[in-house]
A and B are shown apart, each in its own frame.
Chain A
Amino acid sequence: MSMEDYDFLFKIVLIGNAGVGKTCLVRRFTQGLFPPGQGATIGVDFMIKTVEINGEKVKLQIWDTAGQERFRSITQSYYRSANALILTYDITCEESFRCLPEWLREIEQYASNKVITVLVGNKIDLAERREVSQQRAEEFSEAQDMYYLETSAKESDNVEKLFLDLACRLISEARQNTLVNNVASPLPGEGKSISYLTCCNFN
């Protein structure tokens, strides 16, 4: 694990109501696919994509909800040590927008208070069925001090931008907190956790 080739590793976590397109966004970004209306993805914990930003390799570990959002039963441990949260709603579904405050409360309680949150309105390819205006979402995101972006996982609109902008912000954030932040010391999300538990160091 120590030999892995990257300068930064960040854990990004998606949340939002079921059906807003979280899984599709991840798939689109990591695999370039838009899977036709398929159920929950089975067996996938997180997806990884390494991107290069200004010559630096940034490994993004992107976690999906595993369907636990459907009945509002996301485990708290899902939020732990996330560096960024993508809070997603569906622009064609008023309900998914109205649930945002509920999601924000969960974030506030379980996520690190330094987490970067991005609000994403997905499915802009269905503009004719829009129920949530851009202005409303902008106002909301400003009030909550979040970045805001509209995307289409289907048409691949703004999906790259979403993750790359996020990666840039995470890098500059990491730089500010620097001192400890290099590959040698475990980055959040990676940590002592997995690698720690698996390498047996006999004294």
Chain B
Amino acid sequence: MADKLPSEFDVVVIGTGLPESIIAAACSRSGQSVLHVDSRSYYGGNWASFSFSGLLSWIKEYQEENNGEEWTAWQELILETEEGVALRKKDQTIQHVEVICYASQDSDEHVEEVGAVQKNPGSVTSASTNDPPDSMVTACSDTSELTTPLSEPEAAREVPDVDVTLGNENHGGDTDCSQSPLEQEKAGNLPVGEDVVDAPKKNRITYSQIVKEGRRFNIDLTSKLLYSRGLLIDLLIKSNVSRYAEFKNVTRILGYQEGNVLQVPCSRADVFNSKKLTMVEKRMLMKFLTFCLDYEQQPDEYKAYEECTFSEYLKTQKLTPNLQHFVLHSIAMTSEESTSTLDGLRETQNFLRCLGRYGNTPFLFPLYGQGELPQCFCRMCAVFGGTYCLSHAVQCLVVDKESGKCKAIIDHFGQRISAKYFIVEDSYLTEKTCSNVTYRQISRAVLITDQSVLKADSDQQISILTVPPVEPGSEAVRVVELCSSTMTCMKGTYLVHLTCPSSKKTAREDLESVVQKLFTPYAEAELENEELKKPNLLWALYFNMRDSSDISRECYNDLPSNVYVCCGPDGFLGNKNAVKQTGMYSCSMSSFWNSALPCAYKPTSGTTSSPKPSLILIFLLKFSQNTLDPSDTLLRNVFSRVLDLNSLSSATEMLWLFPPYLFSQGQHNSLHNRCLIKNC
């Protein structure tokens, strides 16, 4: 395995989050040689998804004391004419990690995830991944204050045999026992009523079952959905990266009102079939939504309210308070206090336009979790020759004093790797580089529960629920509930993600009140009153994640001009920020390409000489980092036109349709044609 890395590339990308991975794929696709490294042993950084044991190792890593260790060896390795910009040794983007286990724990049992292996976050930095899982839970930062894992001998006895997988238990002697995940996946896709699991009522799920079935979990650190007409979907289709992943449509939009979870009707059919709405309400809502679909055509309807907030505007419309609430929180998903009428209308329109493309809601969720997406772009990069190295840390960037440009990195082995461009994820930069940056924080909770927040005929529902702020000034909480057919949790459980901008000290303080509204801690769960019972909470994780989006480049100290920073995940539902910063928008500027940079992408006829993709790259990067000359009004104008929704669909086309001069013609033609056909 002593394969050594080449010492020269066009581009070095540090970090495997979504934006970095998209850039890596784009660079590789347009002919750059790319080295893509991540200091962690897994793909995705804060965009990753983990199995249960993987997540426990991740938790453990962040609960360890940070000893403030820094790289130092590089100092011996740079010349007098050079300067080093050190990179961080240990990630600091995650804080206030708290774990609470509510499910019963059979303390005398030593359970391990089936097939658990070293390839999880703990394996590099922390000593052992094979500790009994219980100890990981109790290893959490302030144990004393936490609910101690509850032992419920009675519940434990109810579980017949821990060796049997949950699936088997539920099916009894059913032939479905032998289903592979693939078949289970299919079963999950079958229409309502075909679903085989209805066991949660009978069986209480224990902690050891969760651990044992841990491989079934793919738990996202960042909870996002894809807008079915959003940039990311567009990019996935255009780039053909979509073939590496599978998606499911979110099945329900839920709302929260007066302590109840309700389904929000949003498509035409939903509205008409809704039993919750009166005939009059149905007509009101349809009228309003129809208006929103092309509100620009009727400026008179909203002109007078442009200065108001969207919620004030809604009050002036013929909508009952009920409907106003749903439009504001569940359809536009906007804030009551700060969203302007225009933003609200635009969001409502966006929502409506996304409806019906793949299903009855505007959202898609990737099977096996959000963490698949960066990996898919990484594969694309690799397919076009990119070199991949996980568990590969970088000590520093080497800057040439005279030119002020970065010329190389020094990796953890002390190897010097030179390149022309460097893309670094924000979390790799040290405090020294970021001393002027103020980061916001995202509060996150991950819950494992035993029932859906809103029971329905089918237990395989994927739902998004917005819980409005409890008190003025606090934040709405976004809840995404995933069922087992999304391949993110074991059968008989639901994986629930909560996200909100952090306003209190810790994620738990921000989110626990919402958790308590929606769920019952497992211990308190009594078997009485099955119908009214809230879902039981089996396990909960809280943490804060740094939000490094929207930070202007000038905030970073001493950043050489050929070093570009990518931000981590933001707190929004969509992936717009991630895609946008990769400069994809700029690709739609076909007129610009044709007039100003023809040689940049047109291969010289007859030869295989490289068509200077570096020019394109400079442009993309500058563009995405807002460092283009501000006086360049031509560019600015084109850019603002790109934001028009109609042209968004073509926005990403250019980059992916660069003449694939790297293809040797005949052989890969069919692949290329497939790309083209897909773009129809």
Q: Mark A residues whose CB is within 8 Å of B.
A: 18, 40, 42-45, 66-68, 70-73, 75-78, 80-81, 83, 95, 99, 105-106, 108-109, 112-115, 177, 180, 185, 188, 191-194, 196-198, 200-203
A175 CB → nearest B CB, Å: 13
Residues 232 to 274 of chain B near chain A (Cβ within 8 Å): 233, 236-237, 240, 242-248, 267, 269
Flag if A77 contacts B372 (CB, 8 Å).
yes
With the chains together, A202 CA to B186 CA distance in Å? 24
Complex CA gap A147/B119 in Å reads 26
Residues of B within 8 A of A106 (CB): 117, 119
A114–B551 Cα distance when bound, in Å, is 46
Please name all residues of chain B whose beta carbon is closer than 8 Å to the beta carbon of A200 when the two chains form the complex.
Answer: 357
Q: How far is the CA of A80 from the CA of B182 in the complex (A)?
A: 9
Contact, CB under 8 Å: A72 / B390: yes
Partner of B387, one of A67, A83, A112, A202: A67
Please, which residue of chain A has its CB at the minimum distance from the CB of B36? A73
In the complex, the answer to whether B368 meets A198 with C-beta atoms within 8 Å is: no
Please determine whether B182 and A201 come into contact, CB atoms closer than 8 angstroms: no
Q: Mark B597-629, 1 if CB is under 8 A from A, else 0.
A: 000000000000000000000000000000000
Q: Give A112 to B115 CA distance when docked, in angstroms.
A: 12
CB of B412 closer than 8 Å to a CB of A: no
B242–A71 touching, CB < 8 Å = no
Partner of B389, one of A18, A73, A76: A73
CA distance A105 to B118 in the complex (A): 9
Number of interface residues of B (CB under 8 A): 61
Q: How far is the CB of B216 from chain A (nearest CB, A)?
A: 11
* Complex Cα–Cα for A42 and B34 (A): 13
**Chain A residues near B379 (CB, 8 Å)?**
66, 68, 75, 77-78
- Closest B residue to A197 using CB positions: B242
Given contact pairs A18-B3, A42-B662, A71-B389, A194 touches B357 in the complex (Cβ within 8 A): no
CB distance A70 to B385 under 8 Å?
Answer: no
Q: Pick the 5 closest A-B CB pairs, nearest first.
A: A114-B180, A66-B382, A203-B356, A75-B375, A193-B246
Q: List 4 additional contacts besides A197-B236, A201-B358; criterion CB under 8 Å.
A: A43-B671, A114-B182, A188-B182, A203-B269
Of the A-B pairs whose beta carbons lie under 8 Å apart in the complex, a sample of 14, sorted by A's number, is A18-B3, A42-B662, A43-B668, A45-B240, A72-B1, A72-B391, A78-B379, A108-B117, A109-B119, A115-B180, A193-B243, A197-B236, A197-B242, A200-B357
- Cβ distance A170 to chain B, nearest Cβ, rounded Å: 12
Residues in B whose Cβ lies below 8 Å from that of A77: 244-245, 368, 372, 375-376, 379
Q: How far is the CA of A197 from the CA of B475 in the complex (A)?
A: 33
Per-position binary interface string of chain B over residues 365-403, scored 1 when its CB falls under 8 Å from any chain A CB and 0 otherwise: 001100010011011001111011111100000000000
CA distance A81 to B183 in the complex (A): 10
In the complex, A198→B660 CA distance in Å? 21
Instruction: Verify if B592 is at the interface (C-beta below 8 Å from A).
Output: no
Verify if B43 is at the interface (C-beta below 8 Å from A).
yes
B215 at the interface (CB under 8 A from A): yes
Determine if A71 and B387 form an interchain contact, defined as CB atoms under 8 angstroms apart.
Answer: yes
Whether A109 touches B660, Cβ cut-off 8 Å, given contacts A71-B390, A197-B247, A201-B358, is no
Q: Provide the bound-state CA to CA distance between A193 and B367, in Å.
A: 9
Tell which of A70, A80, A114 touches B368, judged by Cβ atoms closer than 8 Å.
A80
Which B residue's beta carbon lies closest to that of A115?
B180
How far, in Å, is A64 (CB) from chain B's closest CB?
Answer: 9
Set B1, B43, B671: member contacting A44, Cβ < 8 A? B671
Contact among B5, B180, B382, B680 with A68 in the assembled complex (CB-CB below 8 Å)? B382
Whether the Cβ atoms of A73 and B244 lie closer than 8 Å is no
Q: Does B189 contact A (CB under 8 A)?
A: yes
Question: What residues of chain A lie closer than 8 Å to B186, measured between beta carbons?
Answer: 180, 185
Over the window 149-190 of chain B, the binary record of Cβ atoms lying under 8 Å from chain A Cβ atoms (1 yes, 0 no) is 000000000000000000000000000001111110010010
Contact of A193 among B116, B245, B357, B385 (CB under 8 A): B245
